[in-house]
Amino acid sequence: MFAVRFERFGPPEVLAVGGLPEPHAGPGEVRVRVRAAGVAPVDLALRAGASPSSEQLPLPHIPGVDAAGVIDEVGADVTGFAAGDEVFGAVDVSRLGGAAAEFAVLAFWAAKPPSMSWEEAGAAGTSVETATRALDRLGVRTGTTLLIDGASGGVGSVAVQLAVARGGRVIGTGRPESHPFIAGLGAVPVAYGPGLAERVRALAPGGIDLALDVAGAGSLRDLIAITGTPASVLTIADFAGPQLGVGISRGELGGEPDGRHGLALAAALSAEGRFRVPVRAVFPMDRAAEAHAAAARGPRQGKVVLAAPPAHGEHDGAASM
């Protein structure tokens, strides 16, 4: 099969497209012919050799943890899905990649609704799973006022919409140029940086119940001051959190057993017109190096996606973005 791969760690230019053996679905898994694969921050770190997990990678390695495609192989113990079904999801956490290829094996997935383009679906998996798990851990529900630090990124933009769908009021930080984008997601935008606590208090004089850090920009002390307690703050990006009493949800790779529930909910909200996966750039797989370079640059308003051509006889689903 064709696959994006790298044989050594380094800059985006180490990525190339070549032939590798096809993977096969194991128990509880499905294999898809990939139509789109998201480019996640963890993919960049692993490729650069900057992640502790890079040492675990056998080379050559196929990057990508998120994918959408058409099922062509169903593993044992899988029910409710069959060859030909259009799905989106993510690979098994232990594989650290494998999505940016002609075929990928998914560990958790949901049916792709017609309302969701292939590009959106390919970028959704771990962002939805990570955001869902973080909101669950915080206990976001109707009436919650939630501050999301980093509301315009891949996970932040998804978390905003899922929190709003739960009945929460969301205030989201971002650069001033990203404020219209954040407002379009359903959050009240606010500039990050010095003076954040004062700006947030002006927007929410009744107080902030909970805060979620998805940016890892060193804001945890401010978030504690805003909510009044470390117990009301969760981070997925700042691993200094425990030193401040802040909880950590390590969600970059997803794959928890209940991941399908979050994806199914996102699919249902998409079908109702209440959820979208912001996509800021799409590249064909043979331009994966350009995609990785773009993903590392700002403004980070949504996800970068690698697109694969449809196989003979397949259709495009929802219109491309």
Are 199 and 191 in contact by the 8 Å Cβ rule? The answer is: yes
Residue pLDDT, tens place only, 187-244 = 999 998 889 999 999 999 999 999 999 998 889 999 999 999 999 999 998 877 888 8
State how far the Cα of 207 lies from the Cα of 185, in Å rounded to an integer. 21
Pairing of strands 233-235, 210-213: parallel
User: Number of helices and strands (H, E) in the chain?
Assistant: 8, 15
Topology match between the domains 2-126+256-307 and 128-248: no
| Spatial distance between the Cα atoms of 226 and 7, rounded to a whole number of angstroms | 46
Q: What is the pLDDT of residue 319?
A: 40
Residue 148, pLDDT score? 98
Name beta bridge partners: 176: none
Q: Can you tell me the mean pLDDT for 159-172?
A: 98
**pLDDT (average), residues 10-15:** 98
100-124 pLDDT per residue, tens: 999 999 999 999 999 999 999 999 9
* Tens digit of each residue's pLDDT (9 = 90 or more) over 278-299: 999 999 999 999 999 999 987 7
Tokens for 91, please give them.
């690979």
pLDDT at 93: 78
The answer to whether residue 320 scores a pLDDT higher than 80 is no
Q: Where do the domains of the chain lie?
A: 2-126+256-307, 128-248
Topology (CATH level 3) of domain 128-248: Rossmann fold (3.40.50)
User: Using CA atoms, how far apart are residues 178 and 201, in angstroms rounded to an integer?
Assistant: 20
pLDDT of residue 301: 86
What is the topology classification, in CATH, of domain 2-126+256-307?
Answer: Quinone Oxidoreductase; Chain A, domain 1 (3.90.180)
Distance CA 277, CA 207 (A): 29
* Three-state secondary structure call for residue 273: coil
Residues contacting residue 315 through CB under 8 Å, at least 6 positions apart: none
CA distance 121 to 115: 10
Average pLDDT over every residue of 72-81: 96
Model pLDDT, residue 141:
96
| 3 state DSSP class of 95 | helix
Q: What is the pLDDT of residue 318?
A: 45
Mean pLDDT of 5-14: 97
Mean pLDDT, the chain, rounded, equals 91
